[in-house]
Structure 1
Amino acid sequence: MLYKGNCHCGKIAFEVEGDLAAAVRCNCSICPRKGALLWAVPHETLRLLAWGDDLGKYTFGNHLIAHRFCRTCGIHPFAEDVSEGIERSAYVNVHCIDDLDLDAVPIFDFDGRAV
């Protein structure tokens, strides 16, 4: 299925193709603060439709994940693997997907603090 989404102001827009069977609630040091529920997808299935200079990047710890955010409204629509030599994934914040019934999406907890 094709899903479309964006940040609050719409300057960052994306579409992603896949089967949204579940989302992950991570307890690492950043995910709870931004309220993200993440859907892991192959990186090539995430297509940015709008971004320009508004797409910011934040990394921390081992710098393997780039947490992307809108520099205008501050919303974090996705993150992505940035290390080389691995099969890259993108992590879509399902809160940013248009017209999604979150009550129908199973949520699984992930212990990101232990990683």
Structure 2
Amino acid sequence: MRFEIASDFPEFTTCDCSICRRKNALMVKVHESQFKLLAGAESLTQYQFHTFTATHYFCKVCGIYPFHRKRITPDFFGINVFCLEGFDTTGIPVRATVGAGMP
């Protein structure tokens, strides 16, 4: 699977909800207009839970979590920056978000 994003990377976020805590991703928020899936759509599968608003995508071949469509802002994706080839996270602030306490 291949995708591209456009972002100035103002910050990364982590989340403490049950799924994000376990996958330990570091995410950047990107508007859907700044995200483009280039290849591999057929390799994606999705997982939804709780309110079934957010959609978490996983690769059916390798199991990696590359991105999710966000619950609170469904026109945005949370991109797992560890899936960006050669990307250096040094110096970008990380903000912890509270997902476990969301109603």
Same fold flag (TM > 0.5)? yes
**Identity between Structure 1 and Structure 2 (%):** 32
**Cα distance, 1:87 vs structure 2:** 5.9
Partner of 1:35: 24
Instruction: State the aligned residue count.
Output: 102
**Cα distance, 1:102 vs structure 2:** 1.7
In the alignment, structure 1 residue 113 sits paired with structure 2 residue 100 = yes
Divergent runs of 4+, >6 A: none
Secondary structure at the counterpart of residue 49 of structure 1? strand
CA RMSD of superposed structures (Å)? 1.7
TM-score, normalised to structure 2's length? 0.90
Where do 1:1-115 residues align within 5 Å?
12-81=1-70, 88-115=75-102
Alignment gaps of 5+ in structure 1: 1-11
Question: How many Å separate the matches in 2 of 1:72 and 1:38?
Answer: 22
**Cα distance, 1:70 vs structure 2:** 0.2
Question: How many Å separate the matches in 1 of 2:68 and 2:27?
Answer: 9
Alignment gaps of 5+ in structure 2: none
TM-score, normalised to structure 1's length? 0.81
